[in-house]
Copies of this chain bind each other. A is one copy, B any other.
């Protein structure tokens, strides 16, 4: 979702969707409305995945404090540079996440299993969308802080030296390599896929989750259909 649209949330839940990705990175809605989206989505039975602003601890901490189910870190580079941000997803001793006596703890004192349970349940998914992360993907996947990867095909194409993303041979080879590394590491990989051929390809390469609809795309598709059927 690219706007804090509660209507779309309800429409999507009714249509059978099970997960929603908040694209905070490129949109960044207000704190009030971000909180409203998370609370409402959980109430509607949708898992909430936050694509955060940047791969830094401050943004990870804000997402986990809201109680999201997964943190997607954009523009991650090599493991060594990303480690501080990745660590902010997990409580000590595994990481450095700070305890907040709020929404993510259901406004209650933590029980004995709270810290371990959160570390297990809140997924940490670095995006692989820079040439640096692509080169270091094996190390990233091996890190105990990382629960899986989220492939960002557009920026990956640009930073890997292609002029744009067109699901061409080079794109497919890169995606296939990441899929193989993820499977070797025994961890899931996710990817956004707008076109049928992308959807078939990533399914065949074992993607755990496919993100298949974007808000602007829905509006544009809907508008196109209205104009196509308009009687002048």
Contact = CB atoms under 8 A, between A and B. Distances in A.
Interface stretch (A56-64, A174-182, A183-191): A56-64
A154 B99 contact: yes
The size bracket of the interface on A is 35 or more
A54 B62 CA distance: 10
Q: Which of A107, A203, A232 has the most CB of B within 10 A?
A: A107
A18 to B, nearest CB: 13
Interface string A88-113: 00011100101111110011101000
A203 B161 CA distance: 43
Interface in A212-231: 212-223, 225-227, 229-231
Contacts of A5: 3, 5
Given A29-B31, A226-B221, A155 B98 contact: yes
A213 to B, nearest CB: 5
A30 B27 contact: no
A92 B15 contact: no
A118 interface: no
Contacts of A27: 31, 65, 102
Q: Which of A44, A214, A218, A231 has the most CB of B within 10 A?
A: A231
Nearest to A111: B164
Given A10-B39, A57-B54, A164-B110, A218 B229 contact: no
Interface of A: 2-3, 5-12, 14-15, 25-33, 35-36, 39-45, 53-54, 56-59, 61-62, 65, 74-75, 91-93, 96, 98-103, 106-108, 110, 115, 129-130, 154-155, 158-159, 161, 163-164, 196, 199-200, 203, 212-223, 225-227, 229-232
15 contacts: A9-B39, A11-B216, A43-B44, A57-B75, A92-B159, A98-B129, A99-B154, A101-B214, A101-B216, A218-B219, A218-B223, A221-B221, A221-B222, A222-B222, A222-B225
